[in-house]
């Protein structure tokens, strides 16, 4: 059953009271909120997502609600609650929906230790996945949104879930977070995509979220082995340039992008080296989405020979 099948009254009731149980890839998030922008954002951007029966297990129990003090009315704020406790300081009321998105990212990065989790975007096409680790401001999410708008399957714009057991990447498709100029860039690039309401003056500037394609949501339980690790960097007016990156250097940089490499210990080392073993690695600079997508569409899968030494 998809969220869109709920009536407005049913959606409001579940969110305001017992919680809406939303399946997002391998996780079930039970979400509660009575804030209109959160309800509207969920209704618009999670319309195609499966919802679980009302009683049952949930991986994360979260809530976005006003604080129980004067800031409920005076210069109102919102809190993200996880298991009824707030791991973060309050943020302005107008940022309620981004707060939910950031909070869900936090839940996965803090608790999903059956995976090696990386801060990176992931897209897939024809059974081959590209992992794009990059710091904020590098154009990762914009590139991810552009690729998804041109037919690549969205796994995530923020989180890689790499299974040490299976060697596969699991999708966790959620709305793609766009910031500042990239909001209009994607609106112009792909007028058909759905972009939610903008929230201004966040720590990242103005933020809006692009709805994940329905095909990506429907394939959210289909993991795939990784194929490429590509470090993107946007440079205005630059021609697209893909440069092979030595695996050792790529590996060390991926550690920096990992949430739980250290926590996983030797398992983390073996998982991450295993990921690098099977991937071709590149640095990629681009100034045009069209050029960048052409480069990605032309990528050749790596050969199957490995060079492993214990």
Partner 1 sequence: MQSARMFASYPFNFDSTYHQAPLMVSKLALPWRARASSQLHWRSWGDEFVVYHAGSGDTHQLDPIAAELLKSLAQEPASTFELVTRVSVSLELEADDDLFEYMEKVLCTLSRLDLIEQS
Interface residues with partner 1 (CB under 8 A) are 246-249, 251-252, 255, 262, 265-266, 269-270, 273, 276-277, 307-310
**Least spacing, CB of residue 268 vs partner 1, in Å:** 9
**Least spacing, CB of residue 13 vs partner 1, in Å:** 48
**Quick one: 71 or 247, whose CB is closer to partner 1?**
247
The distance from CA 129 to its chain's CA centroid, rounded to whole angstroms, is 15
**Least spacing, CB of residue 250 vs partner 1, in Å:** 9
For residue 138, give Cα distances in angstroms to 72, 233, 236, 298. 36, 5, 11, 22
**Quick one: 188 or 310, whose CB is closer to partner 1?**
310
Q: Are 184 and 195 in contact (CB under 8 A)?
A: no
Taking the C-alpha atoms of 175, 86, 96 and 38 in order, what is their torsion angle to the nearest 10 degrees? 70
**Least spacing, CB of residue 270 vs partner 1, in Å:** 8
Q: H or E stretch including 261?
A: helix 261-264
**Quick one: 9 or 308, whose CB is closer to partner 1?**
308
What is the spatial distance between Cα 240 and Cα 286, in angstroms, rounded to a whole number?
Answer: 4
What is the spatial distance between Cα 23 and Cα 18, in angstroms, rounded to a whole number?
Answer: 16
**Least spacing, CB of residue 233 vs partner 1, in Å:** 21
**Quick one: 106 or 269, whose CB is closer to partner 1?**
269
CA angle 177, 91, 134 (to 5 degrees): 30
How many residues appear in the chain? 310
What is the spatial distance between Cα 193 and Cα 215, in angstroms, rounded to a whole number?
Answer: 13
**Quick one: 104 or 271, whose CB is closer to partner 1?**
271
Q: Phi and psi (nearest 5°) for 9?
A: -65, -45
**Quick one: 191 or 246, whose CB is closer to partner 1?**
246
**Least spacing, CB of residue 229 vs partner 1, in Å:** 13
**Quick one: 168 or 277, whose CB is closer to partner 1?**
277
**Least spacing, CB of residue 304 vs partner 1, in Å:** 15
What three-state secondary structure class fits 25?
coil
For residue 80, give Cα distances in angstroms to 102, 105, 265. 9, 12, 30
């Amino acid at each position: 059953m998809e969220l869109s099948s709920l009536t407005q009254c049913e959606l409001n009731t579940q969110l305001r009271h017992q919680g809406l149980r939303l399946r997002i890839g391998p996780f079930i998030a039970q979400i509660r909120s009575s804030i209109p922008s959160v309800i509207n954002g969920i209704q618009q951007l999670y319309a195609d997502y499966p919802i679980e029966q009302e009683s049952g297990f949930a991986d994360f129990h979260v809530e976005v609600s006003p604080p129980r003090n004067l800031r409920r009315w005076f210069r109102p704020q919102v809190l993200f609650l996880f298991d009824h406790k707030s791991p973060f300081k309050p943020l302005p009321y107008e940022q309620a929906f981004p707060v939910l998105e950031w909070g869900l990212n936090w839940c996965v990065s803090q608790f999903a230790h059956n995976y090696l989790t990386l801060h990176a975007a992931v897209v897939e096409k024809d059974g081959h996945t590209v992992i794009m680790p990059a710091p904020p401001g590098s154009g990762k999410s914009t590139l991810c949104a552009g690729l998804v708008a041109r037919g690549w399957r969205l796994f995530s714009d923020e989180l890689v879930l790499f299974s040490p057991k299976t060697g596969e990447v699991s999708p966790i498709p959620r709305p793609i977070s766009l910031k500042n100029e990239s909001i209009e860039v994607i609106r112009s690039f792909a007028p058909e995509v759905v972009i939610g309401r903008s929230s201004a003056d966040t720590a990242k500037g103005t933020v809006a979220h692009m709805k994940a394609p329905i095909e990506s949501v429907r394939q959210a339980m289909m993991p795939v082995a990784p194929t490429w690790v590509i470090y993107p960097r946007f440079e205005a007016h630059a021609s697209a340039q893909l440069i092979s990156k030595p695996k050792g250097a790529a590996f060390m940089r991926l550690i920096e992008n990992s949430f739980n490499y250290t926590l996983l210990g030797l398992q983390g080392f073996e998982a991450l080296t295993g990921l690098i073993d099977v991937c071709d690695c590149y640095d990629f600079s681009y100034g045009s989405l069209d050029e960048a997508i052409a480069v990605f569409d032309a990528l050749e899968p790596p050969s199957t020979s490995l060079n492993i030494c214990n």
